[in-house]
């Protein structure tokens, strides 16, 4: 029996992003308003794209990539 390959996560709900990063909801919504985080709306659910989350942290840490 083989273990299935883990797939890359595509996005995070706001509370998941806050939990993972330690940022508060207010700061996350500020970053969204500043267009530093891209979101997708699905009904009432706001999903922060994983690509934009990674780009934000690359910008904050000064990494190229």
Q: Residues 16-65: pLDDT tens digits?
A: 999 999 999 999 999 999 999 999 999 999 999 999 999 999 998 887 65
Residue 46's DSSP bridge partners are: 41
**All structural domains of the chain with their residue ranges:** 11-61
Phi, psi torsion values for 16, nearest 5 degrees:
-70, -40
Residue 15 above 90 pLDDT?
yes
Return the DSSP state at 65. -
Coil vs helix vs strand at 1: coil
pTM above 0.85, yes or no: no
pLDDT at 52: 97
Q: Could you tell me the pLDDT band of residue 1, with boundaries at 50, 70 and 90?
A: low
């Amino acid at each position: 029996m083989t273990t299935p390959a883990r797939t890359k996560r595509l996005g995070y709900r706001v509370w998941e992003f806050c939990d993972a990063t330690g940022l508060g909801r207010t700061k996350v919504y500020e970053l969204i308003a500043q267009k530093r985080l891209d979101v997708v709306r699905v009904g009432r659910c706001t999903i922060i794209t994983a690509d934009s989350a990674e780009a934000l942290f690359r910008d904050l840490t000064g990494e190229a990539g």
